[in-house]
Chain A
Amino acid sequence: MKKVILFIGLLLIAGNCFSQYTGETIEESIKKLLSSGTLSKESVEDVLKGAIKNPELYNDAWGRFVNYLEKEDVSKWSWLNDLNVKFKTFQSINSSATSLGFSYDFNYSYSNFIKKDKKRISNALSLKLKGNVAFNRNVNPNDFLESSLNYSFSMFTGGVVKQNNAAIFTELNNIQAKLTSIRDMKSQEAIDLWKKFGENMQYSDQYYFAINPRLSLESNQDFSKKQFVYGGDLFIGAKGWNNKSTYAALNIFDYPFALVRWMTGFDPKFTPYGSTFPTMQVSLDNVNPQNDPQRQAITGNLDPFTRYKLESSFRTFVTRVKNENVFFNANVRYYRELDASQAIKTAGLDDHFYFVMALQTTTGFYVSYSKGKLPFDAINDEVYAVGFQYKL
């Protein structure tokens, strides 16, 4: 009798589920069974066995469970929206054995922002969990779990002089309305309006500092094989948005291009930009080399290693020729492997220096020069040039 009650319960819960074995829904299997006129204990058990092994039964039950919790207290269980659980049948690659199991994918992120008089602070945390778990792990062809935790702290200061005057806001809108209808930005009218605009809205130096540690664990489902991957970035930036700022004067990298802008009549006078002051990034990474034949040939393995990177970038506007904007871009990177083996050092693979610079136009014409090389795993970042490239 108990089985008959369970049988009816299954009918109600999983009426639309597919039987993985017959291709029929459970409802169809039951109807077929009832109409066959041979309702024996064995035939009921057969249908129940099929239903119990059907992952859609559990997907349906899980969905109902989540809905129930969210109806009870949506604020308490809202994080379940970030969790995606799917029951499925795993099949061994080497045999016809199958096992019920589930895949999970959880993405949770939290960010908090604090605005103070002189600085803006942001904290962001994200947790990502992803994997496949078979109740019989021997038949799990996707035996891989990935768990990662990322945190980001960033702080900005300065950038603009705070204004709280409605008349000035309105005045800026009025100037803006005139500026947007002028085609020639070098006309005296435009120059005068931009001057007036700048008098009503003043920029200050902006500073940016960010630190982003990250940690992840890759493993199989019983954690007998696991690997921690760690790393982090430190980013420092400063911009002098006002062209009369100290950063504009200190930005000697922009001097040659300020000269070009002045000589081609784009800028009315020699004006280095503080807004293009170079940025700096320091990174520490645990590198998991893959498909690196050179490294494998030297060390005999592809074991993970730790490496730091220093990177700095610079880009500025050079001039405008007809409808083409011309930019100068530069990037320099230095990579160094920590505790590198003697074989790696001897082969010169423990450190890499890479410098590249390019003149580039809006439509993609490119003249580039590069020196050094990137490490094997970062080779995709190498510049692809259209036009002319010179490489030492």
Chain B
Amino acid sequence: MATWENTNLACATLWTTLYHMNQLHTNFEDSGDLKISDLTFFNPLSSGDAREQEARMIADQIDNTFVNARGAKYADNVTNSTAINGMVSILIDGDKQVNDLASEADELYIFWGEQENQ
């Protein structure tokens, strides 16, 4: 699991993205330990299928934001499909944490400002 620090661009970019999407409502420091089930999209009353489709919309929007609005690039051997599927696998698990999603994002993307993306 990545260390939840604001110097880690995966953590910081994920947090601003989720906050801006109204998915979380806490400051950066308190957000790493938040469970996925505490994000706004995660409806515990939905069927599993419906919740997975919601997770796909969120994953697509996160990917869309990273790549098209924040200058991130895919890491080596990562495609849009692997990025979306990687994030969906975490977003459908309510017990996972935002920090887990940041770890996944850290492996999938090279964020703007990281040495490899200058």
Interface centre among A112, A156, A181 (most CB of B within 10 A): A156
B69 at the interface (CB under 8 A from A): yes
A-B contact pairs, 27 of them (CB 8 A): A159-B65, A160-B65, A162-B69, A163-B71, A166-B71, A172-B70, A180-B16, A181-B28, A197-B16, A198-B20, A201-B69, A206-B64, A210-B53, A237-B57, A239-B61, A266-B25, A275-B21, A279-B57, A281-B47, A281-B50, A311-B50, A313-B43, A315-B40, A331-B43, A331-B50, A356-B45, A358-B45
A327 at the interface (CB under 8 A from B): yes
B12 touches A180 (CB 8 A): yes
Cβ-neighbour of A185 out of B27, B44, B54, B69 (below 8 A):
B27
Smallest CB–CB gap between A156 and chain B, Å? 5
- A369 to B65 Cα, complex, angstroms: 37
- A368 to B25 Cα, complex, angstroms: 23
For B7-21 the 0/1 string (1 means CB < 8 A from A) is 001001101100111
Smallest CB–CB gap between A376 and chain B, Å? 15
A-chain residues with CB within 8 Å of residue B69 when the two chains form the complex: 160-163, 172, 201-202
| Interface set, chain B 76-99, CB cutoff 8 A to A | 79-81, 84-85
- A173 to B69 Cα, complex, angstroms: 11
A329 touches B44 (CB 8 A): yes
B68 at the interface (CB under 8 A from A): yes
A273 touches B22 (CB 8 A): yes
A315 touches B12 (CB 8 A): no
A208 at the interface (CB under 8 A from B): yes
B6 at the interface (CB under 8 A from A): yes
Question: Which A residues are closer than 8 A to B by beta carbons?
Answer: 111-113, 115, 120, 122, 124, 154, 156, 159-163, 166, 169-170, 172-173, 176-177, 179-185, 194, 197-198, 201-203, 206, 208, 210, 233, 235, 237, 239, 241, 243, 266, 273, 275-276, 279, 281, 283, 311, 313-317, 320, 323, 325, 327, 329-331, 333, 356-358, 360, 362, 378, 381, 383
- A45 to B43 Cα, complex, angstroms: 67
Main secondary structure of the interface of A (DSSP, over half): strand
How many residues of B sit at the interface, in one of the four size bands? Answer: 35 or more
B-chain residues with CB within 8 Å of residue A362 when the two chains form the complex: 38
Cβ-neighbour of B25 out of A233, A276, A317, A378 (below 8 A):
A317
Q: A201-B69, A208-B57, A330-B45 are in contact. Are A120 and B80 (CB under 8 A)?
A: yes
Smallest CB–CB gap between A157 and chain B, Å? 10
- A275 to B18 Cα, complex, angstroms: 11
B-chain residues with CB within 8 Å of residue A210 when the two chains form the complex: 53, 56
Smallest CB–CB gap between A363 and chain B, Å? 10
B28 touches A180 (CB 8 A): yes
Q: A159-B65, A166-B71, A279-B53 are in contact. Are A383 and B45 (CB under 8 A)?
A: yes
A331 touches B45 (CB 8 A): yes
Smallest CB–CB gap between B102 and chain A, Å? 12
- Identify the closest chain B residue to A212 (Cβ): B49
- A339 to B51 Cα, complex, angstroms: 29
A-chain residues with CB within 8 Å of residue B20 when the two chains form the complex: 194, 197-198, 201, 203, 241
B38 touches A325 (CB 8 A): yes
B-chain residues with CB within 8 Å of residue A161 when the two chains form the complex: 68-69
- Identify the closest chain B residue to A355 (Cβ): B45
